[in-house]
Amino acid sequence: MARPPSADFSSAPYRDPSVPVDARVADLMARMTLEEKIGQITGVWVQLEDIKASGQDEPAFLRKLLANGTGSIGPTQTLAVDDDVGFRNRMQRFLVEETRLGIPAMFHDEGCHGLVKPGASSFPCPIGLACSWDPVLAERIFVVVAGQMRSRGAQHALTPVIDVARDARWGRFDETMGEDPYLNARLGEAMVRGLQGSADGSVDDNHVLATLKHYIGHGSPEGGLNRSPSISTPRTLREVDFVPFAHVIKTTHPATVMPSYNEVDGVPVHASRSLLVDVLRGELGFKGLIVSDYEAVRLLHEGHHVAGSLADAGALALRAGVQLELPQAVSYLGLGDALAKGQVTLEQIDASVAPILAWKFRLGLFERPYADAARAKAAVDAQSGGELALEAARKSIVLLENNGVLPLAAGSLRTIAVIGPNADVVRLGGYPGTPVRAVSLLEGIRARVGAGARVVHSPGCILDKSDTGNAYHGWKFEQPVIAADPENAQLIAEAKAAAAQADVVILAIGENEAISRESWSVDHLGDASTLELRGSQRLLAEEVLSAGKPVVVYLSNGRPLEVGFLKGRAAAIIEGWYMGEQTGTAAAEILFGDVSPSGKLTVSFPASAGQIPAHYSRKPYAGPFPYQFSGSKPLWVFGHGLSYTSFRYESPRLREAEIAPDGETVALVDVVNTGARGADEVVQMYVHQDVSSVTRAVRELKGFMRIHLEPGERRTVSFPVAAEALALWDINMRLTVEPGTYQIIVGPSSSEGQSVALRVRGS
């Protein structure tokens, strides 16, 4: 049985908040046993259901589970506020009052696009939010996420995901911000600043520790299969994968980094001292805490087979630099024996314990260990994310195609048919919370038109027979069962009849949270071998199109889909991804022209899975010949997105047309709204080096700005152009700016724009 804190410790220096943190850490560590130290570098993950199933009462269960303390306690994702706060406080009270040294735990939660809890705000999933190209908006959102998370007793967020994602078959695509390292870096910086509330690495009582993940190469898994080996080469790691991590570490000092499950060039990242110490700490300058992904240390033995036992896996990961095993103690339980065998040193264990204790002191957990249920409920009641969620959805929805049918004129429509399996449900995406109120596309359209038009609805087809409409349940538990065409025949016939009587059809198709999600076991899959619409959705679309009425396709999905058959046939195509709790309101505002669409794609849409990779920043001689019997161009390119107005880009110019390798200039372009309505536009700047010592991409994003222009308004947009925008990793793997000519290209997407030449002098 754990012993209560000794009275002798009440006046110990580690108990005194006026003592500097380093001194408090040193004092506490000097008093700790080896078992207590190992407790601090391992996690605990327990649910109320686990305690009930054990047959023990809660105090007895906690005495066994937490006898030596713990570094971190995992999320309770399904508990309402009172139960959540109460359970966490009871675990914390045991640690504070009944363990020998009274060391509190940190709690961590998921917050990919909102806190994964009932009652929390739900924002667009990252791939959707990224399409806003708005770092200020991203920061504001993650301030809300941090506040709701901290109010429920968590201090550590396992987000953001800044993986550069280039294989749409991968089920975790919706957790990412797309295919470009520069954009991911700037949005990741904003998210960390929002979560931590600072750019200097400090965290106050209203914010949480941010976690950069997944380091490194996670977004390009072999075959698009989660956790598979990274296909990134050493050069690709430098040019692409490291870029967001390097930038965010430099600009916002995130508290923690989570290594990825995959291997890189034969070495699992959790076992790679080269990647974690030499590169992450040495080259990138990371000074924070390295925490394992869930069960990733165990997988060094059971998955990768680079360790002969669980204990060997723990020793290997600790030596590589992994400081905290999550979600619970498995491999690190053997560190005592590993120490006795000389596999690890006490200095290595201490080096992991110290930063965990330091964060507990900095967060004030020794002085303020408990959550306040009233504060947490107030955060729910305030619904501070409602208007912000609406703004985010408005800015993130992308208009892909439009033959002029949009915006809809509500007054001239008598009947609107809203059809499809995603019409009357809100798809929230992976790692979803459960917002108090969520608005479906159907609800949003009905609210917008009121009594002005008749709105008829037909589900069109059943996509997934296991689908309950509960995003969290679908993502976490459901095993999708795709309905076959014969099962959907009657629904498709009803949908066609509904379309025939309408003036316009809104066709809501795509995916759900069980079809596109993280694969973590053979019973929980989400990666795909095809990008085709699942089930009877293509048949549904063909039948609805055959009714001869204008069809606006509204996509809700977690990855780019193969929908080329709709181009030129649908009156309009909208990419809505998973837009959060205000999906329907925002979508209706865009459909009826209350808001002009302004989102731009952050991933290229391949015409089929066979085109992968399809990212815009290809090498000059990549795909010199098209596929036989099919083209090689994507359906829509990175940066693409239409508006209800038109913009004219005038010729870009440079403040200085020639600079030294360490010099700087400014690219300027005038953008004019030549249409009849005010709207936002995302101005994009790309760089291309005419001749280089090693091949580099035909275009690389190096600047962007979201602006608003009223009709006839002109604005000069400027972008700095310096070494960071021009440099490449040369033949000797040195980051350098080579003399020569560079094209600075400014335009509305990665395939459009005008260029101006910049000359870099020789040194």
Residues whose CB falls within 8 Å of the CB of residue 133, separated by 6 or more in sequence, listed in order: 183, 599, 600, 602, 682, 704, 706
Task: Quickly list H helices, 208-283.
Answer: 234-236, 242-252, 273
Chain centre distance of CA 18: 38
Residues whose CB falls within 8 Å of the CB of residue 627, separated by 6 or more in sequence, listed in order: 610, 611
Tokens for 398? 């992308």
| DSSP-derived secondary structure for 663-700 | --EEEEEEEEE-SSS-EEEEEEEEEEESS-SS---S-E
Cβ–Cβ contacts within 10 Å for residue 738, how many?
18
Chain centre distance of CA 273: 26
Q: Are 113 and 404 in contact (CB under 8 A)?
A: no
Taking the C-alpha atoms of residue 337 and residue 373, their distance in angstroms, rounded to an integer, is: 42
Rounded to the nearest 5°, which phi and psi values hold at 213? -150, 155
Q: Specify the DSSP element, H or E, that contains 313.
A: helix 310-320
Residue 451, class by beta-carbon neighbours within 10 Å (0-12 exposed, 13-18 middle, 19+ buried)?
exposed
Task: Quickly list H helices, 561-695.
Answer: 583-591
Q: Are 121 and 582 in contact (CB under 8 A)?
A: no
> Using the 8-state DSSP alphabet, how is residue 741 labeled?
E
Counting Cα atoms < 13 Å in the Cβ hemisphere of 672 gives 7
Taking the C-alpha atoms of residue 510 and residue 516, their distance in angstroms, rounded to an integer, is: 10
Q: Are 281 and 287 in contact (CB under 8 A)?
A: yes
> Residue 464: what residue type?
D
Residue 439, class by beta-carbon neighbours within 10 Å (0-12 exposed, 13-18 middle, 19+ buried)?
buried
Tokens for 38? 């190992």
Q: Are 631 and 186 in contact (CB under 8 A)?
A: no
The string over 8-37, giving b where at least 16 C-beta atoms fall within 10 Å of a residue's C-beta and e elsewhere, is ebeebebbeeebeeeebbebbbeebeeebb
Angle at 582 between CA 580 and CA 586, to 5 degrees: 115
Active-site choice (163, 174, 293, 467) = 293
Taking the C-alpha atoms of residue 223 and residue 603, their distance in angstroms, rounded to an integer, is: 18
Q: Specify the DSSP element, H or E, that contains 718.
A: strand 714-721
Taking the C-alpha atoms of residue 343 and residue 754, their distance in angstroms, rounded to an integer, is: 60
| DSSP-derived secondary structure for 415-440 | EEEEESTTSSS----SS--B-S----
Helix, strand, or coil (residue 466): coil
Taking the C-alpha atoms of residue 734 and residue 731, their distance in angstroms, rounded to an integer, is: 7
Q: Are 574 and 587 in contact (CB under 8 A)?
A: yes
Plot region of 745 (φ>0 → left; ψ -120 to 50 → alpha; else → beta): beta
Annotated catalytic residue 293 = yes
Q: Are 363 and 155 in contact (CB under 8 A)?
A: yes
Sign of the CA dihedral with 675 first, then 678, 682, and 684 last: positive
Cβ–Cβ contacts within 10 Å for residue 376, how many?
23
- Give the residue numbers annotated as catalytic, written as ranges: 293
